[in-house]
Structure formats: C-alpha cells, structure tokens
Amino acid sequence: MIHEESFEGIGLSSNVYVLKSLEGYYIFDASGHPDLLSFLLSAGIDKDRILGVFLTHGHYDHVTGLVSLLGANIKAFINQKDRSLLESCIGPREVSDISEGIPLLEKIGLKAIPTPGHTPGSTCYYSEREHLLISGDTVFADGYFGRTDLAGGSDSDMKASLKYLSALKVKSLLPGHGNYILDGGSKAISLALSNANYLL
Ligand SMILES: [Zn+2]
C-alpha cells in the first residue's frame, strides 16, 4: 500500500515513496533534502518502524536525505555499481548492497530489477502481485526516460532496460520525478521505449 504521506519532489529533489506493511515502513529514495527524516517524522512515521531505505540510484537528488536517515540508524540499500556515485554526493557511508535487502523486499512481494542506462546501478522495484513499479529515473509517467548523457549513462543499456520493463504488467508507475500514475503504467513504459528507440 502506498502510504498517504509519500512526498512529491520539489525542484531538484526526487519523489520519496513510503510503502507501509504490517511490519513497518519501506522508503524508496531519499530526496535531495538533507533532513528528510524531519519530513517523515512530521508525517507521523515512527522512525523505529522504518525497515529500510531502498535507493533507485546514486544521484544527489535521490540520496542527500539519506544522511539524516543513516544518523537514525536506518538501513539503506543501493546497487553497488552506484556506490561511487553516492559517495561522490554524501561521502563514504554505511550503505548495503541491494542483494542484502532482497529478503526484506520479498516480504512485501517486491523484486529489485537492475535497469542500467541512466546510471550503471539504476534499479527499479517491482511488485508482480500489485503490478506496481517504482522506476527511479529510468522511466517517467509521461512516457519519457531518464537522461543517458551523465557520467555512467548508456543509450544501449537504457533501451535494453526499457525493453525489459515493457514486458512487465504495470498499472501503478511511481517514478523518481513528476507525477505518478495508478493506472496505465505499461502504456507509459511502451511509449518511453519507442521514444528511446527513436531518440537514442
Ligand atoms: Zn538521476
């Protein structure tokens, strides 16, 4: 279930999604705000019930808020391929590889899917049961895809990642920026794939 207190990113900040399970909260992306923790607390989220923060990639507008969460002993996970990117933004930090977060993700039926292209370690999170995709900066609700011209970006990887995602059944598409949609996610992904094939 998407918690009602997910945060829409403002300016150079990513969206932050909060999924609530019986056991606690899952946070996806950490925004560009250094004190994300205060936002979460003011939304009534008990920090002791946050099970982990799962990053879609290592860009500063998605990881800067991690500093406040790590300070509260909350575990965070990122694909190792984006570790140097993350460290170039917030310095060396105790962040685990996404493989260590898989048991936690499985508890709520989520899979981590490597989707390089925007960055080498870009990762999407997918629920087959709920047809929900947290897509980071790989694909957006308007049918566009993330930049591939930044360090570590790859046109061919982006096209392959979008092709892979387009084979999934997606209703809810929760991207790293802009609007999310609760219906028609697969349509947006197919459009992004054809846009990428045309533009890249
Ligand atoms: Zn990014």
* CB-based contact 145:165 (threshold 8 Å): no
- Better-predicted residue by pLDDT, 113 or 13: 113
C-alpha distances (whole Å) from 120 to each of 5, 15, 179 are: 30, 20, 24
SS3 string, 96-115, reads EEHHHHHHHHHHCCEEEEEC
Q: Can you tell me the mean pLDDT for 1-8?
A: 52
Check residue 8 and give its pLDDT. 57
Check residue 1 and give its pLDDT. 47
| CA separation for the pair 66, 37 (Å, rounded) | 8
63 sits in which H/E element: helix 60-63
Instruction: Report how far ligand 1's centroid is from the alpha carbon of 63 (Å).
Output: 10
Instruction: Report how far ligand 1's centroid is from the alpha carbon of 118 (Å).
Output: 7
Q: Can you tell me the mean pLDDT for 8-30?
A: 85
Instruction: Report how far ligand 1's centroid is from the alpha carbon of 22 (Å).
Output: 31
Of the pLDDT bands very low, low, confident and very high (cuts 50, 70, 90), residue 7 is low
DSSP state, residue 37? H
Average pLDDT, the chain: 93
pLDDT tens by residue, 147-199? 999 989 999 999 999 999 999 999 999 999 989 999 999 999 999 999 999 99
Which residue, 135, 145, 95, 141, is CA-closest to 112? 135
Residue 20: is its pLDDT beyond 80? yes
* CB-based contact 176:14 (threshold 8 Å): yes
Check residue 13 and give its pLDDT. 83
pLDDT tens by residue, 46-90? 999 999 999 999 999 999 999 999 999 999 999 999 999 999 999
* CB-based contact 176:136 (threshold 8 Å): yes
DSSP state, residue 80? G
Does the pTM of the predicted model rise above 0.75?
yes
| CA separation for the pair 52, 76 (Å, rounded) | 6
Check residue 149 and give its pLDDT. 92
pLDDT tens by residue, 94-120? 999 999 999 999 999 999 999 999 999
Instruction: Report how far ligand 1's centroid is from the alpha carbon of 176 (Å).
Output: 8
Check residue 97 and give its pLDDT. 98
**Looking up tokens 């009602």, which residue turns up?**
4
* CB-based contact 40:18 (threshold 8 Å): yes
User: Domains along the chain?
Assistant: 17-199 (3.60.15.10)
Residue 9: is its pLDDT beyond 70? no
| CA separation for the pair 92, 79 (Å, rounded) | 15
Instruction: Report how far ligand 1's centroid is from the alpha carbon of 145 (Å).
Output: 11
